[in-house]
Amino acid sequence: MKVEFYKHNVSEEDIKNVVEVLRKPFLSTGKEVEEFEKRFSEYLNCRYAVGVTSGTAALHLSLLALDIGTGDEVITTPMTFMATSNAIIYVGATPIFLDVEPKTGNINPDLIEAKITPETKAILPVHLYGEMCNMGRIREIADKHNLVVIEDAAHAIEAKQENSRLGHLSNTACFSFYPTKSITCGEGGLIVTNDTEVASKLKKMRLHGMSKSAWQRYEKQYQHWDMELLGFKYNMSNIQAALLLNQLEHIEEYKQRRKEICQRYEEAFKDDPNIRLLEASSGSARLMFTILVPSDKRDPILSELQEEGIGVAVNYRAIHLLSYYKGRYDYHRGMFPVAEDIGDSTITLPLYPKLTDEEVEYVIKKVKKAVEGKSGLLPQ
Ligand SMILES: *Cc1c(COP(=O)(O)O)cnc(C)c1O
């Protein structure tokens, strides 16, 4: 049997929507993008949504729109995809890592205040695997120290915490529509915010800082435009939006199926002495399912699962130990032991709506066999 690590969920209806747009004259940022932004902001109950070309672009523009730049410090987590901290470096600021909670792998709010300096301008939490960070606590710390909060919400579109959703307790929340995320257009991203001024800045900044978009110029008679600030070329196209619109309608169903699969995995692994699991609350968006195995056996287990035809991944090896970060910032092993432990022990298993029950059972059987076999083979 072969079980893919990931299968996207693009349907025939989604494809039909894209073909319809391709038959129309206007392919860049226009009506479909506006419609997707409207529905996305309604889904999260936020005032504004701004479609861009990637999650990385969403993070980059958020930092710029909130005036974070050279010499500033941004507090974030080393347990994430490096897009999070790379975006901080793009604007000339310094990523300040701190350790994560052992239970969830999310940034540990208890450690934030000790890292705040006069240079600190922002906190950038990541809702790892779909589990929301404690946003109430993070907002409280941010308000006390006059900091902004930018959420890396790439894993967590559907997440809930008490009555709050993404974008409610932050200045901006950033999303990605990369293929392994819960809805996809190949490459794409989006920012939500409740701040009118920030939204207007983001809309200009995604298109070179122009005062009028091509759509605004196309819809009516030609009008001169101005360039008010230095922006980038990060605007979402109508083709991308057309692919996403119908997926958004089904987002809760897709999450429900992932949740079911996670519950089956948890039931199967919870009593295995060689497997540790992170916690997920009922509000988790359940984007990824990971297990933690003894770190000296992680790589042999990864190889065995792949030999059995199972697609696996590592999300993530702690960022501060990647060569570029170690070299540039003098980070070293031992600084963030919880993140390092997760990074050394974690394996991500297949999780997506198209995964069948039969495939899930096959993965469970092979994971148990690999974990048990490797523990027997190695001394101690
Ligand atoms: C996918 C991802 C991103 C980046 O999104 P892109 O659309 O690939 O640029 C950022 N942060 C996290 C945590 C991600 O998983």
Residues 106-138: tens digit of each pLDDT: 999 999 999 999 999 999 999 999 999 999 999
State the CB neighbour count (10 A cutoff) for residue 226: 8
Sort strands 73-76 and 94-97 into parallel, antiparallel or unpaired.
parallel
Beta strands in 15-119 (DSSP E): 48-52, 73-76, 94-97
Q: What is the DSSP string of 171-185?
A: SEEEEE--TTSSS--
337 contacts 320 by C-beta, under 8 angstroms: no
DSSP string, 236-295: PPHHHHHHHHHHHHTHHHHHHHHHHHHHHHHHHHTT-TT-B-----TT-----EEEE--G
H or E stretch including 304?
A: helix 298-307
pLDDT at 379 over 80: no
Mean pLDDT, the chain, integer? 96
> Is any ligand 1 atom within 6 A of the Cβ of residue 83?
yes
81 lines ligand 1 (CB under 6 A): yes
pLDDT at 376: 55
- In 96-109, which positions are buried (b, 16+ CB within 10 angstroms) versus exposed (e)? bbbbbbeebbbbbb
Residue given tokens 């989604």 in the structure block:
14
- Is the pLDDT at 278 greater than 80? The verdict is yes
Dig out the tokens for 46 from the structure: 């936020």
User: Is position 181 annotated as part of the catalytic site?
Assistant: yes
Q: pLDDT tens across 296-354, in order?
A: 999 999 999 999 999 999 999 999 999 999 999 999 999 999 999 999 999 999 999 99
> What's the confidence (pLDDT) of residue 213?
76
Nearest atom in ligand 1 to 152's CA: 11
